[in-house]
Structure 1
Amino acid sequence: MITVHHLNNSRSQRVLWLLEELGLPYDIVRYERDPKTMLAPPELRKVHPLGKSPVVTTDEGLVLAESGAIIETLIERHGQGRLAPAAGSAEALRYRYWLHYAEGSAMPPLLLKLIFDRIESSKMPFFVKPVARMIAGKAKAGFVAPNLKTHLDFMEGELGQGAWFAGPEFTGADIQMSFPLEAARARGGLDASRPRLMAWLERIHARPAYRRALERGGPYGLLS
């Protein structure tokens, strides 16, 4: 049996979605973020030394971390030809690219925006607040926002080549890309000005497996 160590409002939601797409049975062990720090609880370190989610374990003693590695491994072992393009095809190259792009390129500017947003809204001594807000505002305007625009424009253009990121068929790359694009919709400026990305979000949210994963995983803050 596969067990997903599931942290609320985290990347582990897409692992639940993958398992629903594959039709595999699984158990969930739930963890809640610290409401002040928003960090994972220390109990997760008992499962994996980094103490982050997602982590997947199996009855055979396998421990898998990192969303891309989990998605790739589960599809290789259980996909039976589903959710990944044929090896050696042009779509397979795109599939691998987007599996890595999601965390390697798309997420860093979104994380920086989250950090600087929190700096602007955090409580601090009154004499520090103006300086902190000025630095955060300049960083967002001069670096973070331009980078977000570049990436969103790039992804919008790439979806002009097909309905899904790896080509004409839905794959694990779309599952991997869900977290950065839902984060971009929630706090990164993704809106109706990029209709292909918005239509892609509508398509993934309409998938029955996606809806089942939400029911099992519980409230998902990126959608609120």
Structure 2
Amino acid sequence: MYTLYIANKNYSSWSLRPWIMMRELELLFEEKLMPFGNGSNWDSFRKFAPAGKVPCLHDGESVMWDSLAIIEYLADRHRGVWPEDAKAKIWARCAAAEMHSGFTNLRSTCPMHVGLRIRLKAISPELQAELDRLNELWCEGLNRFGGPFLAGEKFTAVDAFFAPVVFRIQTYGLSMNTQASAYVKRMLALPTMQQWQTEALREKWREQGHEKAVLAAGDVLEDKRMQP
């Protein structure tokens, strides 16, 4: 059976990607949540991940780190990770790779935080350009492949890669166009997304680095987390 190492569901956007993909495929795996410590996690995370980061997947003696590598490993072994249609698969891989290596202003300005609702102090031109690209990309997939997911009828890896962005849109109240907003609502309604959110809100850990990064972005409107 697989073992998936992740970190705090409240903060860890990278962990969400393989976790939700495996849940959607109904794959059996043992979840091991390793909370972020204050400061470096290098020594503690190196015990299970060569790069000292999460997520990390163990399959017997095989160890895969980095969310994209984990997804590709799963795709070699299970149907449904990527779309079956060749054109949809090409588009989905490109869109997932763009998310994996890009949208740096969105990541830095709007750190992952499931529990808070934040009003941003400002939206820079650079962030707005990335939100415009996000609208464009999502609408392209929905229109080309018919929805309700980005590459067609079924949830695939490209949706998994954008799942953390969906939570960011909710947290920071980011304005999206009508079609993209409908996709956000559809994603947030998924039982797997609901499970991740519920478990994130129950976490009692507070890692100061993540908390400070979020508070630097804007004003807190609401804290939905269970109090420690």
Identify whether the pair has TM-score above 0.5, normalized to the shorter chain: yes
Of 94, 100, 117, which residue of structure 2 is paired with 1:103?
Answer: 100
Match of residue 190, structure 1, among 158, 174, 182: 174
The list of structure 1 runs, each at least 4 consecutive aligned residues, that deviate by more than 6 angstroms after superposition, is: none
Deviation at 1:147, TM superposition (A): 2.9
Q: Distance in 1 between matches of 2:100 and 2:7?
A: 18
If the length of structure 1 is used for normalisation, what is the TM-score? 0.71
Amino acid of the structure 2 residue aligned with 1:86: E
- In 1, the alpha carbon distance for the partners of 2:179 and 2:41 equals 33
Unaligned runs of 5+ in 1: 116-136
Out of 15, 29, 32, the position equivalent to 2:18 is: 15
Distance in 2 separating the partners of 1:209 and 1:145: 28
TM-score (norm 2): 0.69
| Matched ranges for 1:65-214 at <5 A | 65-79=65-79, 82-86=80-84, 89-106=86-103, 108-114=104-110, 141-142=124-125, 144-158=126-140, 159-161=142-144, 162-163=146-147, 164-187=149-172, 190-191=174-175, 193-212=176-195
Alignment CA distance shift 1:78-1:145 (3 Å): closer
Deviation of residue 180 (structure 1)? 2.7
**Partners in 2 of 1:146 and 1:208 — Cα distance?**
30
Deviation at 1:5, TM superposition (A): 0.8
Which has more strand, going by share of residues? 2
Identify the residue that residue 53 of structure 1 maps to in structure 2: 54
Report SS of the residue matched to 2:3: strand
Structure with bigger gyration radius:
1
Q: Are the structure 2 counterparts of residues 56 and 153 from structure 1 closer, same or farther at C-alpha, using a change threshold of 3 Å?
A: same
Q: Which residue of 1 aligns with 2:36?
A: 33
Q: Which has the higher helix share?
A: 1
The share of aligned pairs that are identical, in percent, is 22
CA RMSD of aligned residues (A): 3.0
Task: Report the number of matched residues.
Answer: 190
The amino acid of 1:177's aligned partner reads: F
